């Protein structure tokens, strides 16, 4: 009598141990608790290298390992056909170094954004536009600094906060931020590229 097992592999799974088990890279379901426990303990890979590396695997290899455990198991794959095991050695946290990197990225982003805004303001002659609006509305020449510049600066800051939906630990709503969306797209593209490169069997000139 066949036993049903539902398998959902993650596209990429980060592991820190050299012995990688099925429970580390997939979600499983079966109405047989003993079968489920036995399948979760199936060893998928033994990593021999000590360096950080990404390993590509196939669902067919996983199904083969499961059926070797019990030939009567009927596996239903609901997840990825190819998957990545991202082996990362366990490292002690380096808090000062992490803060230093974060501060460096913040400074670079701040300077880059400031330069882009100033360049746009100069190209669009925002100062001249504000001066013309001030003269048309109040009938007098604007000084060096007016309420238009103040409201423009406050509105620009609020617009950035609302658009990126993030300020410190506070979020405007529960939607993912544009930066989170772009990072997920980037991670998906990286995973697909790693899988496709691993599947290339031909020799010769490649994209790199």
Angle between helices 33-40 and 59-69 (to 10 degrees): 120
Where are the alpha helices (H) located in the chain, listed in sequence order? 22-25, 33-40, 59-69, 95-124, 126-138, 147-164, 178-199
Are 33 and 107 contained in the same domain? no
Are 102 and 175 contained in the same domain? yes
Query: Rounded distance, CA 99 to CA 94, Å?
Result: 9
User: What is the structure's pLDDT at 168?
Assistant: 64
Are 108 and 180 contained in the same domain? yes
User: What is the structure's pLDDT at 201?
Assistant: 58
Residue 208 included in any domain: no
Per-residue pLDDT of the chain (208 residues; tens, 9 = 90+): 678 899 999 999 999 999 999 999 999 999 989 999 999 999 999 998 888 999 999 999 999 999 998 888 999 999 889 999 999 988 888 888 889 998 998 899 889 988 988 898 888 788 788 777 877 777 777 677 777 888 888 888 888 777 776 666 666 677 777 778 888 999 999 988 988 888 775 544 444 4
Residue 207 included in any domain: no
Residue 206 included in any domain: no
User: What is the structure's pLDDT at 1?
Assistant: 64
The domain boundary residue, chosen from 87, 108, 138: 87
Are 16 and 77 contained in the same domain? yes
Residue 132 included in any domain: yes
What is the value of pTM for the model shown? 0.68
Domain count of the chain? 2
Residue 137 included in any domain: yes
Are 82 and 30 contained in the same domain? yes
Are 155 and 185 contained in the same domain? yes
Query: Rounded distance, CA 184 to CA 176, Å?
Result: 10
Are 105 and 42 contained in the same domain? no
Are 106 and 71 contained in the same domain? no
Are 128 and 77 contained in the same domain? no
Are 70 and 122 contained in the same domain? no
Domain, as residue range, for 49? 3-87
User: What is the structure's pLDDT at 172?
Assistant: 66
Q: Is 98 exposed, middle or buried (0-12, 13-18, 19+ CB in 10 A)?
A: exposed
CATH of the domain at 49: 2.60.480.10
Residue 9 included in any domain: yes
> Within 10 Å of residue 84's Cβ, how many Cβ atoms?
22
């Amino acid at each position: 009598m066949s036993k049903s097992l539902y398998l959902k592999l993650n596209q990429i799974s980060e592991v820190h141990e050299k012995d990688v088990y099925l429970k580390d890279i997939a979600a499983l379901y079966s109405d047989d608790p003993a079968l489920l426990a036995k399948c979760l303990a199936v060893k998928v890979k033994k990593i021999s290298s000590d360096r950080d590396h990404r390993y590509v695997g196939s669902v067919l290899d996983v199904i083969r390992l499961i059926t070797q455990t019990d030939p009567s198991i009927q596996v239903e794959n609901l997840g990825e056909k190819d998957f990545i095991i991202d082996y990362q050695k366990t490292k002690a946290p380096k808090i000062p170094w992490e803060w230093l990197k974060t501060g460096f990225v913040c400074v670079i982003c701040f300077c880059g954004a400031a330069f882009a805004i100033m360049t746009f303001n100069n190209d669009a002659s925002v100062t001249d536009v504000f001066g013309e609006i001030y003269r048309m509305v109040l009938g007098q020449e604007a000084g060096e600094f007016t309420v238009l510049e103040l409201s423009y600066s406050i509105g620009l800051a609020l617009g950035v906060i609302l658009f990126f939906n993030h300020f410190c630990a506070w979020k405007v709503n529960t939607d993912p931020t544009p930066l989170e969306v772009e990072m997920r797209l980037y991670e998906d593209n990286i995973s697909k590229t790693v899988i496709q490169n691993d599947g290339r069997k031909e020799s010769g000139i490649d994209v790199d």
